[in-house]
Each structure stands twice: as C-alpha cells, then as structure tokens.
Amino acid sequence: MTVFERMQRIDRRVMYVLLVAVIALPMFVPFKLPTAITPEVRGVYDAVESIPKGKLAILSGDWGAGTLAESLPQTEALMRHLFRNNVPFAILPWAPQTTTLMQNTAERLAPEYGKVYGRDWVNWGWKAVPMVAFLKSMAKDIPGTVRQDYRGTPLSELPVMKGVKDIEDIGFVCHITPVGNIMLWVAFIQAVYGTPIAYAPTAVMVAQGYDPLDAKQLVGMLPGLVGGAQYETLLNDPRSGVRWSNSLSLAELLMIFLIVLANIGYFASRRAGGSGR
Amino acid sequence: MNEALQQFFSNQEAVQRTVVWSGAICTLAIYTFLYRENVVYRLFEHFYLGLAVGYGLFLVVSEILIPKWWVPMWNEGRWWWAFALTGGAMFYFVYSQKHNWISRLAFGAVMGLAVGWMFQDFAGANFPKIAASLKPVIPHAPVGDSPGLTVSAAVNNAIFLFVLLTVMSYFFFSFDYEKHRRAARAAQIGRWMLMLGFGAMFGATVMARMSLLIGRLWFLLHDWLRAVSF
C-alpha cells in the first residue's frame, strides 16, 4: 500500500482516538480562541437588555441530559444575564427532566447574584398538557393556567408572580430546545400578541431558525453550543460554553484536516496512475 | 437489609458517587461499539431501552393518571372525570374489526381539534415569511419612515430572491423541461442551491453530534474522574 493509499484508509478507530484527544485537550489546558459575535446572538442579548422593568421573562425549555453540552451553556448564559439585570423570570419546562435540570442550574447560579427562589424566579413545572393548548390558555390567564409551581405552591403565594396576569406581562421568551416546536411559540404567541421570542436550538435544528429570523418573527437565536459561547462572550463572562466550543473548534479542524488528507491521497494516487482507491 | 438501604440513601455523597459511577459505566459500555459490535454494547443497549420504557410508563402513571385524573375524580369529588376513561378507551377499539368505528369517533375529534390549531399555526407561522420574502433589490436613501437600503443589503436581497426563485422552480412540475430549456436551467440551479443548503444543515448536524461527545467526555473527566475543573 502506497502512502497515498494509506492517507485514504486511516483506521476509523485511530480517528476516534484523535477526536477524543483534541476534544479533551481544551478541558485540561484552557485557552481562548477568538469568538465572533453573530447578529442573531446579538439580537437575543439586545432583547434581554430591553426587557421593560416590571415584566417577567420566560425561559421555556424541553431539553434533557442528552443535549446538555449545547442546552446547558445556553440556559446558564441566559440565566446569568437575567439575574445580572434583575429581571424576574419563570422556568417553563416541557419535559420532566427539564424541570430538574433548569431548576438545578438556577439554584446553582442564584447565590452568586443574591437571588432567591419565589422572589426572583419561579419554576412553573411540567404540566403534561399539549403545548398549543397551554400557550393559548396561558396567553389569556397565566395564574389560571399555571396554577402552581413545580413544588405545588400556588402562584399567588410567590412574590415573583405578583401582578403577572397574562401575556402582556411577559417581556421576553426564549425557547431552549432540541426539537422543532419553536413555530408554535411564533404562531400562537408572537404572531398574535407580538411578544419578543428568541430561539436557542441545538445545532441540528439551527437551519429552521433562519427563516423566522429573517421574517422578524424571532428577535434572535443562540445556535447550539457556539451560540452559548458567543453569549458568554457578550456577557464578558466565559464559562462552559466558551471552553466546550474550543473543543468543538478543534474537533472540526481535525475533521477538515482528515477530509483534506484523504482527498490529497485520492488525487495524488490517481495522478500516479492508479484509479484513486 | 432495609436499614442498610436507608443508611445508604441517607448518605447523599455515596448516592451521588453511585449515580456518577453508573453513568460512567453505561457511557463507556455504549462507546465500546466504536471499537466493534460486541456483547457489552448489546447488553447496555437493552438496559437503556428497558429504562426508557419503564421511565415513560412511570411518568404517565405518576405525572398524568394519578394527579390529573385519579386524584380529582376520587379524592376531590369531580366524578365527571370518569368519562375521560370512556373517551380514552374508545381509541383502543382500533384493534377490533367489528367495533372499529368507535375508535374513529375519538380519532376524528382529536384530528378536528388539531386541524383547527393547524389553521392558526400555518397562518401565524408562514404568512409573515411570505411577506418577508418580497425584498427590495434597488439601493435607496431613507424616505420618510421607510428605512433606506444599502448596496450590500440590496446585493444580499438579490441573492436571496435568486435562490428563492430557482429553488421554487425546481419544485414546479408543470413545465415540460424538454421544451422550456430556461426553466430547466433554473430548476437545475435550484437543485444546486438545495444541495448547498443540505450541506450546511449536515455541517450543523455534525457540530451537534460533536457537542454530544463533548458533553459525555466532560462528564467522564469532570464528574467521574475529577481530572478537570472549571
């Protein structure tokens, strides 16, 4: 086997080991790669900055442990921004796992900002009802639809919910999700009431976010892990998103390198008189 | 035995370490597939399937049937919730050849509800996109309340319209492409544009898959081995 043929036939297990090595490297040796801020991420940041005083934000989510590396940095960065700006928010989980994961995240961050559950944020809990029915009902009557938080405490007993009656009291929504249901928020809330909606999808779902962004149905988008890293950069507070996006950048560089290597091998072996492979 | 279990579960640190060790063993067992197909991978794959089914069933009972149906009906005197059982049971007649029509009533009601929602969903989600697709392509200065259009924005809009029209022409099947060569050419360009779009989507998918691996590696190195920290 010639060297050009070897370049095309690297054992996949060798590639896996290389991949693990380049992903692990930034975890052991932290460094900072330049992060360009895209307009869609800037849009989310600006929308949070312009939430009117006294209005509640909603962090809606249906992610689980499977997409933690993408959804957690997005959630954490948004929560930090809301805590820092003293914007009260409600966690609206669409899955049981999300209830716990988002609550744990808020509880971990809250002491850094001196925030207290019930006063500065609330977790509405998973309601096990169809999303459309919940959104349509919630838009008109939040206390009547949500009724109690994830612990079973009536909303009326939570100071953060004081004065929150319907969607007009909501200043910002961000839907953090690995699935394609953002258009339900757009169709049933943004299109009807004009509430600013942001989207924080996993990278797989990014493509479907660009047309509503272009149509101004979304105020912005955090595309996957990279979106979380950009948001942390905007907050000037690099955390897991920035660190993990370094791993992602190195992994992609490795893949590009391997693709180029195999193609060089292919064309070189053809030029040398072979049939490519 | 009970005392030993109680003692174990009262020790949060021990419970946490057991959970992390279980997660690490499961993760490594699944990743053995990367070397080759093997019995450990198969065993843990079946663990996952069993867990997922059990978890799903538990959720239905503990989060829906008991708090939203049984408790209101039995403990709070809302007897009319008993009719929900009838409505729900109607779906299962789909398995009966003789009484299949009963299930169609239930399915029809649900489909009617969904179709009603879909009208609003379609209009709210898509009409603004159609309106936003009609973009100006001639640069101009601001006029009254209307913002101006820079040269770069006009070029962007022109590219957008070019891609939109060529891709739409690809899905327009009423042309006889043998006779209308220009339409055939536009459709061909549209196909190339779609390929570019699919390439971008595939790239994003690869990025997402890498992110999943990053999440698991962080779990192994940070939570399990405690070899790295923030």
Prediction ipTM score: 0.88
pLDDT of residue B8: 79
User: Nearest 5°: phi and psi at A46?
Assistant: -65, -35
The span from the CA of A177 to the CA of A74, in Å, is: 10
Helix (H) or strand (E) holding A77: helix A68-84
The span from the CA of A96 to the CA of A110, in Å, is: 21
Q: What is the dihedral of CA B17, B18, B20, B22, to 10 degrees?
A: 160
State pTM to two decimals: 0.91
Helix (H) or strand (E) holding A110: helix A96-113
165-224 of A, contacting B, C-beta below 8 A: 183-184, 186-188, 190-192, 202-204, 206-207, 211-212, 214-217, 223-224
On the question of pLDDT at B4 being above 90, the answer is no
CA angle A39, A45, A48 (to 5 degrees): 140
In B, which residues are within 8 Å of A126 by CB distance?
63
Q: What is the pLDDT of residues A113-163, one digit of tens each?
A: 999 999 999 999 998 889 999 999 999 999 999 999 999 999 999 999 999
Q: Nearest CA of chain B to the CA of A54: how many Å?
A: 28
Q: What is the pLDDT of residues A18-29, one digit of tens each?
A: 999 999 999 999
Q: Which of A76, A95, A88, A93 is nearest to A121 (CA)?
A: A88
Q: Nearest CA of chain B to the CA of A212: how many Å?
A: 7
In B, which residues are within 8 Å of A38 by CB distance?
none
On the question of pLDDT at B118 being above 70, the answer is yes
Q: Nearest CA of chain B to the CA of A269: how many Å?
A: 27
By C-alpha distance, the chain A residue nearest B201 is: A207
Note whether A128 contacts B: Cβ–Cβ < 8 A.
yes
Q: Which of B37, B57, B60, B38 is nearest to B49 (CA)?
A: B57
By C-alpha distance, the chain A residue nearest B68 is: A128
A241 by Cβ neighbours in 10 Å (0-12 / 13-18 / 19+) ranks as buried
- Residue A93 pairs in a beta bridge with A61
User: Nearest 5°: phi and psi at B63?
Assistant: -105, -20
pLDDT of residue B144: 82
**Structure tokens of A14?**
């060798």
pLDDT-based confidence at B12, cuts 50/70/90?
A: confident
Which residues, including other chains, have CB under 8 Å from residue A201's CB and lie 6 or more apart? Answer: A177, A178, A182, A208, A209, A221, A222, A223, A224
Mean per-residue pLDDT, B63-90: 93
On the question of pLDDT at B177 being above 80, the answer is no
Phi-psi region of A196 (alpha: psi -120 to 50; beta: other; left: phi over 0): beta
Residue B167 has a CB neighbour count (10 Å cut-off) of: 18
The span from the CA of A103 to the CA of B185, in Å, is: 55
pLDDT-based confidence at B1, cuts 50/70/90?
A: low
**Ranges A200-214, A253-267, B169-183: which has the least confidence:** B169-183
Q: Nearest CA of chain A to the CA of B121: how many Å?
A: 5
Which residues, including other chains, have CB under 8 Å from residue B170's CB and lie 6 or more apart? Answer: B186, B187, B190, B191, B194
Please, where are the H alpha helices in chain B? 2-10, 12-31, 39-59, 82-90, 100-133, 151-170, 181-218
Edge-to-edge order in the sheet of strand A121-123: A121-123, A89-93, A56-61, A170-177, A197-201, A220-221
Q: What is the pLDDT of residues A79-96, one digit of tens each?
A: 999 999 999 999 999 999
The span from the CA of A124 to the CA of A147, in Å, is: 8
In B, which residues are within 8 Å of A190 by CB distance?
124
The span from the CA of B35 to the CA of B33, in Å, is: 5
Q: Which of B68, B161, B210, B220 to mutate to test the interface with A (most CBs of A within 10 A)?
A: B210
- Residue A58 pairs in a beta bridge with A90, A173
Q: Which of A74, A211, A254 to mutate to test the interface with B (most CBs of B within 10 A)?
A: A211
